[in-house]
A and B are shown apart, each in its own frame.
Chain A
Amino acid sequence: MDNFMAARSQMALSLGFHIIFSCIGMVMPFFMAVSHFLWLRTGNPVYRNVTKAWSKGVAIFFATGAVSGTVLSFELGLLWPTFMKHAGPIFGMPFSLEGTAFFIEAIALGFFLYGWNRFNRWFHWFTGIVVGISGLLSGILVVAANAWMNTPAGFDVVNGKYINIDPIKAMFNPAWFSQALHMSIAAFAATGFAVAGVHALMIMRKQNVGFHAKAFKIAAIFGVTASILQPLSGDISAKMVAKTQPAKLAAMEAHFITRPNTPLIIGGVPDVKNKKVDYAIELPGLLSFMVHDDFKTPVTGLDKIPEKNQPPVAVTHYAFQLMVGLGMLMMALGVLYLVALLKKRSWFDKRWFLKLFIAATPIGFIAVEAGWTVTEVGRQPWIIQGVMRTADAVTPMPGVAYSFYLFTAVYFTLSIVVIFLLYRQIKMVPVIYDKDTPKPVSA
């Protein structure tokens, strides 16, 4: 494995790992706050138990997310020193604010986790809300920094020097809003479905049904709402990508030839050599309509992009198709949930209904990873779109491959341990959290 590939793989691995933990760490405090609120209002101890059980999960995810985030702030320099030398002062603004938000989140988490019985109960509830809001804010800020790499703004390059730096303009770069919106909703959808899925499994196994049903409902409503809103933000994102990164959009769609009535290409196997897509469904004019609000106007295809500036088509295309497909599935499931909630309450006890949610546990996160692949791979060969090539940013130190193997081993182990810990948390629900309810008769 050459150095460049190793550095890219390590970065991809670290981000791919961190993104899951940060999504959960950023969204679950909101679930917790709702359940906590319901306990304070109704006095029903099951809500308190759910809050406590979830807070343990949040602590585990927060710790893992925090350390992997610390690692990332170093890895930017360890792997891409040339990039950071130029980009640090330009896109650093969201990072400095993110530091503040994250700090507040850590302080609030200290209050929340250790504050049971210590503070006014509403103050204690409020610290939980602060955890959620500051977490969400730090997520938005980090994504704004990433958006700058896609739509760089707030500086000029003259003779290789980066001048006229304006950190505010860089932070509010063209893509910041669409990317932050899309990512935040994705975090809610993915976490909502993942948490709901786990509780659905326990309901189906008839263990602590009262407890898990309440938890399921809170998580599912968050996930369902987000999944129904998501296509909207997806549309906003796609329009922004079309405007600012035509090469990325063309790769997402495997759209090789610029032509009027540009079709939307669904599925298929891109054949880069012959510039065509096999076995795809083509909906004529639809891409033109989605991008330009008009069925005729041509959308820039890869033929208009010099070959050395083209991203890898196959990876981007497959990842994009996967993301959209899973997003649609989640939306369908969301609609089904709403039907159940409003019309067919009996479905909630049906095995097929629970099974659908259990099956959906991982799909939100698969979609998040796919979407992130689209953003990052679709930007290649640029680390700063149109300004700096990824290959020019990599560290001169040889042997990055070993560091990549090391990080792979560590992150793999950590993932296993976190799953193991969650399994034990869930297994102990009857003993630790939901001890008031009688044990189930079935074994």
Chain B
Amino acid sequence: MIYVVIVFLWVALLLYLVMGGADFGAGIIEMFTSNKNKSRTRKIMYNAIGPIWEANHMWLIIAIVILFVGFPVIYATMSTYLHIPLVIMLMGIIARGTALTFRNYDAVHDNMQKVYNKIFVYSSFITPLFLGIIAGSTVSGRVDPLATNFMDAYIYSWLNWFSVAIGFFTVALCGFLAAIYLIGETEDERKRFIRKAKLMNIAAVVAGSVVFVASVKEGIPLVQWVFGSIIGVVAVSAATISLIALWYLIANGKRFIIRVLAGFQVTMILITTTYKHYPNIIILKNGGHLSLIQHQGAEKAIQMLGAALLIGSVFILPALFYLVWSFQYKPEKTEHEGGDEQ
């Protein structure tokens, strides 16, 4: 059962990165959109993401619940040493979640909209930045349970070049995902989002290179992790090939195909970065590891958790699939059944 739980944890993280990432990215895209086009971008984004907005964020909750039920020591270590970036990420989550809803549901449209927009855009940037920083910190080997002073224990555990570079890489990835997602939402805006997707893609490649540079500076053997195994090499090659295919298809390909290609790249990236460490999830400063296998919770708890996840997915996945399908592919009813939209 432990493997079922680990698969769910991984898939929850992946889906949070892909689906949550696309909607973080929507805010990032908005940030880099000229004022002239902003309100149109917002409208397209709202139609594309609104219905699945709340569901996207459930993946994070699922991941965190799996961590604290199944791997309590890992959860406790993360929340102790990465307390500060976690709080900042949470602030971002609060700000985004409320600002988006407020701007959509405020009955009066006036200058308050500007306030909601600002908060939404900034928090869309900060949240994935710190999500990436946290992810980077877990493998950067800076978490130090033996630290005796505040800075070493609670600041340098996450504030280093490597983690911060991963943070920016995550931001660029989210922007890329969102731009790809929005291509094909409207025909007339297609060109604009293609340009955005290309720019974000370049940003991601640049940020990715910076991650490698930072890893060398910090003495983290990232190159070896990525290229030191067959799986890593295959995943990186597959990601590269899919990227070439994506650039080729981006102008005329079906939106479904380019979305799949983008999702595939993110999956490959996550495989590359997690494979080498598996089952170690946190690397400590003294060279020790916190492992998903060694630090799993009580046997019975894992079994029940696995069962709950399996049962839950029977309900969740079909409903989620139908939700996405209905709003993406099912035509709206033409008959007027009563009432306007807003």
A87 to B73 CA separation, bound complex (whole angstroms): 11
User: A87: which B residues are within 8 A, CB to CB?
Assistant: 72
Among A88, A121, A421, contact of B68 (Cβ-Cβ < 8 Å): A88
User: A396: which B residues are within 8 A, CB to CB?
Assistant: 80
* B187 at interface by CB-CB < 8 Å: no
A249 to B128 CA separation, bound complex (whole angstroms): 46
Nearest chain B residue, comparing its CB with the CB of A154: B300
Main SS at interface, chain B: helix
Among B87, B299, B320, B341, contact of A116 (Cβ-Cβ < 8 Å): B341
Q: Hey, what's the 0/1 contact readout for A180-215 against B, CB within 8 Å counting as 1?
A: 000000000000000000000000000000000000
Q: Which of A67-85 contact B (CB under 8 A)?
A: 67-71, 73-74, 76-78, 81-82, 84-85
Question: In the complex, are the beta carbons of B304 and A45 less than 8 A apart?
Answer: no
Question: In the complex, are the beta carbons of A103 and B58 less than 8 A apart?
Answer: yes
User: A77: which B residues are within 8 A, CB to CB?
Assistant: 68, 75-76, 78-80
User: A372: which B residues are within 8 A, CB to CB?
Assistant: none
Question: In the complex, are the beta carbons of B312 and A99 less than 8 A apart?
Answer: yes
Question: In the complex, are the beta carbons of B300 and A424 less than 8 A apart?
Answer: no
A424 to B300 CA separation, bound complex (whole angstroms): 51
Question: In the complex, are the beta carbons of B86 and A74 less than 8 A apart?
Answer: yes
A163 to B69 CA separation, bound complex (whole angstroms): 15
* B64 at interface by CB-CB < 8 Å: yes
Question: In the complex, are the beta carbons of A48 and B316 less than 8 A apart?
Answer: no
* B125 at interface by CB-CB < 8 Å: no
Interface residues of B, count at CB 8 A: 74
Task: Check A421/B54 contact, CB under 8 A, given A81-B80, A103-B62.
Answer: no
Q: Hey, what's the 0/1 contact readout for A403-443 against B, CB within 8 Å counting as 1?
A: 10010001000100100010011011000100000000000
* B146 at interface by CB-CB < 8 Å: no
Question: In the complex, are the beta carbons of B97 and A85 less than 8 A apart?
Answer: no
Q: Hey, what's the 0/1 contact readout for A46-67 against B, CB within 8 Å counting as 1?
A: 0011001000100110111011
Question: In the complex, are the beta carbons of B94 and A107 less than 8 A apart?
Answer: no
* A90 at interface by CB-CB < 8 Å: yes
User: A165: which B residues are within 8 A, CB to CB?
Assistant: 298-301
Q: Hey, what's the 0/1 contact readout for B311-342 against A, CB within 8 Å counting as 1?
A: 11001100110010011001011011111011
A118 to B68 CA separation, bound complex (whole angstroms): 39
Q: Least Cβ distance of B243 to chain A in Å? A: 31
Question: In the complex, are the beta carbons of A96 and B105 less than 8 A apart?
Answer: no
Question: In the complex, are the beta carbons of A100 and B98 less than 8 A apart?
Answer: no
Main SS at interface, chain A: helix
* B4 at interface by CB-CB < 8 Å: no
The listed residue with most A CB atoms (<10 A of its CB), out of B54, B93, B316, B341, is B54
Question: In the complex, are the beta carbons of B58 and A99 less than 8 A apart?
Answer: yes
Interface size classification for chain A? 35 or more
The listed residue with most B CB atoms (<10 A of its CB), out of A48, A62, A90, is A90
A162 to B299 CA separation, bound complex (whole angstroms): 12
Question: In the complex, are the beta carbons of A88 and B297 less than 8 A apart?
Answer: yes
Q: Hey, what's the 0/1 contact readout for B55-68 against A, CB within 8 Å counting as 1?
A: 10110111011101
Question: In the complex, are the beta carbons of B94 and A100 less than 8 A apart?
Answer: no
Question: In the complex, are the beta carbons of A62 and B54 less than 8 A apart?
Answer: yes
Contact stretch, chosen from B45-53, B172-180, B227-235: B45-53
Nearest chain B residue, comparing its CB with the CB of A423: B107
A232 to B333 CA separation, bound complex (whole angstroms): 48
User: A97: which B residues are within 8 A, CB to CB?
Assistant: 308, 312
* A95 at interface by CB-CB < 8 Å: yes
Q: Least Cβ distance of A36 to chain B in Å? A: 11
A109 to B332 CA separation, bound complex (whole angstroms): 18
The listed residue with most A CB atoms (<10 A of its CB), out of B62, B107, B150, is B107
Task: Check A104/B315 contact, CB under 8 A, given A85-B73, A96-B309.
Answer: yes
Question: In the complex, are the beta carbons of B308 and A100 less than 8 A apart?
Answer: yes
Q: Least Cβ distance of B110 to chain A in Å? A: 9
* B199 at interface by CB-CB < 8 Å: no
Question: In the complex, are the beta carbons of A110 and B105 less than 8 A apart?
Answer: no
Question: In the complex, are the beta carbons of B312 and A397 less than 8 A apart?
Answer: no
> How many contacts A-B (CB < 8 Å)?
236
Q: Least Cβ distance of B155 to chain A in Å? A: 11
Task: Check A74/B326 contact, CB under 8 A, given A117-B336, A432-B107, A432-B342.
Answer: no
Q: Least Cβ distance of B326 to chain A in Å? A: 7
* B154 at interface by CB-CB < 8 Å: yes
Question: In the complex, are the beta carbons of A67 and B97 less than 8 A apart?
Answer: yes
Q: Least Cβ distance of A185 to chain B in Å? A: 26
* B102 at interface by CB-CB < 8 Å: yes
Nearest chain A residue, comparing its CB with the CB of B341: A116
* B245 at interface by CB-CB < 8 Å: no
A235 to B63 CA separation, bound complex (whole angstroms): 39
Q: Least Cβ distance of B152 to chain A in Å? A: 12
Question: In the complex, are the beta carbons of B326 and A66 less than 8 A apart?
Answer: no
* A304 at interface by CB-CB < 8 Å: no
Question: In the complex, are the beta carbons of A421 and B311 less than 8 A apart?
Answer: no
* A352 at interface by CB-CB < 8 Å: no
Question: In the complex, are the beta carbons of A117 and B300 less than 8 A apart?
Answer: no
Question: In the complex, are the beta carbons of A59 and B68 less than 8 A apart?
Answer: no
Nearest chain A residue, comparing its CB with the CB of B69: A92
Question: In the complex, are the beta carbons of B53 and A88 less than 8 A apart?
Answer: no
Among A48, A63, A86, contact of B54 (Cβ-Cβ < 8 Å): A63
Q: Least Cβ distance of A384 to chain B in Å? A: 14
Nearest chain A residue, comparing its CB with the CB of B314: A100
Question: In the complex, are the beta carbons of A110 and B54 less than 8 A apart?
Answer: yes
* B305 at interface by CB-CB < 8 Å: yes
Rank and list the top 9 A-B pairs by shortest CB-CB distance, nearest first: A92-B69, A77-B79, A89-B297, A100-B312, A89-B301, A63-B101, A88-B72, A106-B54, A428-B107
25 contacts between A and B (CB under 8 A): A48-B338, A59-B101, A63-B98, A63-B101, A70-B60, A74-B64, A81-B80, A89-B72, A90-B298, A90-B301, A96-B69, A96-B304, A103-B316, A106-B57, A107-B316, A109-B54, A110-B54, A111-B323, A116-B339, A118-B327, A118-B332, A397-B83, A425-B105, A427-B107, A432-B107
Task: Given contact pairs A73-B61, A107-B320, A113-B51, enumerate 7 new A-B contacts (beta carbons under 8 Å).
Answer: A71-B93, A78-B86, A96-B308, A104-B316, A110-B50, A114-B327, A406-B91
Q: Contact residues of A with B, CB < 8 Å?
A: 45, 48-49, 52, 56, 59-60, 62-64, 66-71, 73-74, 76-78, 81-82, 84-90, 92-93, 95-100, 102-104, 106-111, 113-119, 121, 162-163, 165-168, 395-399, 403, 406, 410, 414, 417, 421, 424-425, 427-428, 432
Q: Contact residues of B with A, CB < 8 Å?
A: 50-55, 57-58, 60-62, 64-66, 68-70, 72-73, 75-80, 83, 86-87, 90-91, 93-94, 97-98, 100-102, 104-108, 150, 153-154, 297-302, 304-305, 308-309, 311-312, 315-316, 319-320, 323, 326-327, 330, 332-333, 335-339, 341-342
